[in-house]
Amino acid sequence: MTMTIYKLLNTQKFIPVQFFIFCTSLVTAFIFFTSLFNWTTTTSANAISKKLTLNNDSFYTKSTMQYKGVFDPMDGIGFDFEKYDISPFPKFQDLEKLHVCDLSVDKLKPRTTPAKLLKGFHDCVDPLFEDVLIKMEPKNFSLEICKIIKKCDTIPEFTNLSIDEFPNDHEIKWAILPKCKEDNVMVTLGIGLDVKAEVLLSRTLPNTTFYGADPIIQPNLQMYSHFGGKFFPFAVGKDAGINRFKVLPNQNKKTREYTYQDVTTIDVPYFFNNILKLKRIDFLWIDIEGGELTFLHYLNRGNQFDKLGITVCQFNVELHPDFWPNGYQIVFDFIPQILRENRYVFLKPLETTTGVFRLFFINVENQECVRKYIQ
């Protein structure tokens, strides 16, 4: 460039005006390319910094388990973790003294039998269905079932089962603890920023493996893995792919505003059979804001779980017929079918809001489940 200017200055055709224009153009070009270089460098640095930030555990202060907001919370506040100082049930010491399970034979002196449970259950529930519930329209069936069958919770056959409650911040899960010592499997479908019940179960039954799935990664990942659970960052439903679910994004506990999002979904049979490779699930807790209605029938006899040899010993489910197209009809078909099949008995009905209610189901058909939890 110096030589070019030198030659230009020594030509006869050169005049001061031309020299001024040349210098101005040179300065402008220099400023442009300098700005372009700085912008490119800054953008690249920010991208690298952002990538490192998203993968940096230092954004979580592990002493307080307080979320720092790497992932933008919906309400601008985010979720504050608590260290749950939860003690196991007093009966935990008794559970530690239990003998090792032998699920190949019945106990000599069982506390009860499936036949007795089914008889007591049907004696109470059948008249209520035949005289009242089955005559209702599907929507009224879901709206009235909790009030009508609630009284059946007190039959002796249920009270003898020693059903324990595991409270979350916003609900109660139910479980029958094992009557012998063996490794257990627990699956949570829909964590929903609340794991107190799982923590209590893990303290009470430390020989339990926990699997949890939720499409909202944070803070559910931190919460579920905090007590040793294995977290899976996707929704679980009937069809694999991208599906719209009602989800609870990262937010303060007091906010609790649900929103609809398109989320990655794994179908339930593939999740249980191919990913987790399970054949028996001891405890299954389902709360996925209506998505459960797409695969409830998998629990019925002859459906997908039976074809894969998958057994569920007991499960809690929150049913959301009001959230799902044709949801009331699905529930209206599912529960009477459960009654006819005699595979499960159900109790602990609780309406949480209009068109949403919870039930607890106990498997009285599978011999291993019966010998481990009922006898």
What residue ranges do the domains of the chain occupy? 2-54, 92-373
248 contacts 218 by C-beta, under 8 angstroms: no
Among 18-22, 67-71, 127-131, name the one with the lowest average pLDDT. 67-71
Helices (H), 55-155: 92-96, 114-131, 138-149
What are the Cα distances from residue 98, in Å, to 159, 186, 209? 21, 20, 19
| Per-residue confidence (pLDDT) for residue 169, from 0 to 100 | 86
pLDDT at 264: 87
Whether CATH 2.30.29 fits 92-373: no
Higher-confidence position of 17 and 275: 275
**Residue 197 pLDDT level (bands cut at 50, 70, 90):** very high
As given in the structure block, the two tokens for residue 284 are 């299954």
Amino acid 53: pLDDT = 31
Task: Let me know if 48 is exposed, middle or buried by CB neighbors in 10 A (0-12, 13-18, 19+).
Answer: exposed
pLDDT at position 30, please? 57
- In angstroms, the CA 112 to CA 158 distance is 10
Q: Where are the beta strands (DSSP E) in the chain?
A: 60-61, 66-67, 163-167, 172-176, 184-189, 208-213, 230-232, 235-237, 241-247, 259-267, 280-286, 311-319, 344-353, 356-363
Whether 202 shows a pLDDT value over 60: the answer reads: yes
Judged against a pLDDT cut of 90, whether residue 362 lies above it is answered with yes
Mean pLDDT of 284-298: 94
Q: Element (H or E) spanning 43, and its range?
A: helix 16-54
> Taking 50 as the threshold, does the pLDDT of residue 56 lie above it?
no
Spatial contact of 340 and 303, defined as CB atoms under 8 Å apart: no
Instruction: State pLDDT tens for residues 13-34.
Output: 445 545 555 555 555 555 555 5
Going from the C-alpha of 77 to that of each of 68, 69, 71, 217, 283, the distances in angstroms are: 9, 8, 11, 16, 33
Beta-carbon neighbour count of residue 26 at 10 Å? 13
Give the pLDDT of residue 309: 98
Confidence of residue 207 (pLDDT cuts 50, 70, 90): very high
DSSP summary character for residue 273: I
What DSSP character marks residue 295?
T
Q: What letter represents residue 352's amino acid?
A: T
According to the per-residue pLDDT averaged within each range, which of 18-27, 46-55, 295-304 is highest? 295-304
pLDDT at position 32 is 54
Give the residue from 58, 59, 55, 56 showing the smallest Cα distance to 67.
59
- Cα–Cα distance measured from residue 208 to residue 185, given in angstroms and rounded to the nearest whole number: 6
Give CA–CA dist 88/224, Å, rounded.
18
Cα of first residue to Cα of last residue in the chain, in angstroms, is 95
Looking at the predicted structure, is the pLDDT value of residue 337 above 50? yes
Per-residue confidence at 94, pLDDT binned at 50, 70, 90?
A: confident
Q: How many CA atoms lie within 13 A of 135 on its CB side?
A: 6
